[in-house]
Amino acid sequence: MIIPIGAPESSERSHSDLIIGSFVEPALEEFNLNVIRADKIDQPGVITKQIIDYLMRARLVIADLSFSNPNVFYELAIRHAIRKPIVQIIRQGDRIPFDVNQMRTISIDLSNVYSAIPKIELVRTEIRNQVRRALENPDDIDTPISLFYPGLQVKFD
């Protein structure tokens, strides 16, 4: 999962924990997919190398564009370049930058707990539907890069 992590006790970390635990993990149960967040990788070594390795090899990546975190967009660009399945989500009210605003993005309204809780299952269903469709045709993924450079092939082992 590409998501803003933030420092412990930060609003970004609370957001990340909420999104993963309440929305993404329950939505992914039927697909037998595990959520890996960069700070939970338990291997010694270079963090950036590990993150890029996960980005290159994962069957699917869910990218949370909330907080306009530059690391999220850097990692999303890598995924766009290799043309592998992505599902984008964002906290309602946050702006999606121009270069990625044409990609279908699930908006999650977290502004009011009283309206957000009744919509949890609806959002999980939206995530589930996009994940299902992305996994059905993993080689038929459009990204801003693939649309303008359809012959571009990024090789990796």
Nearest CA-CA partner of 83 in 5, 3, 148, 25: 148
- Domain presence at residue 5: no
Question: Could you tell me the two tokens for 134?
Answer: 């992305």
- Domain presence at residue 63: yes
* pTM strictly above 0.75: yes
Q: How high is the pLDDT of residue 130?
A: 97
Q: How high is the pLDDT of residue 74?
A: 97
- Domain presence at residue 153: no
Residue 95 domain boundaries: 11-148
Question: Could you tell me the two tokens for 29?
Answer: 């149960």
Domain count, the chain: 1
Give the C-alpha separation, 130 to 117, whole Å: 21
- Domain presence at residue 67: yes
Positions in the chain whose pLDDT score sits under 50: none
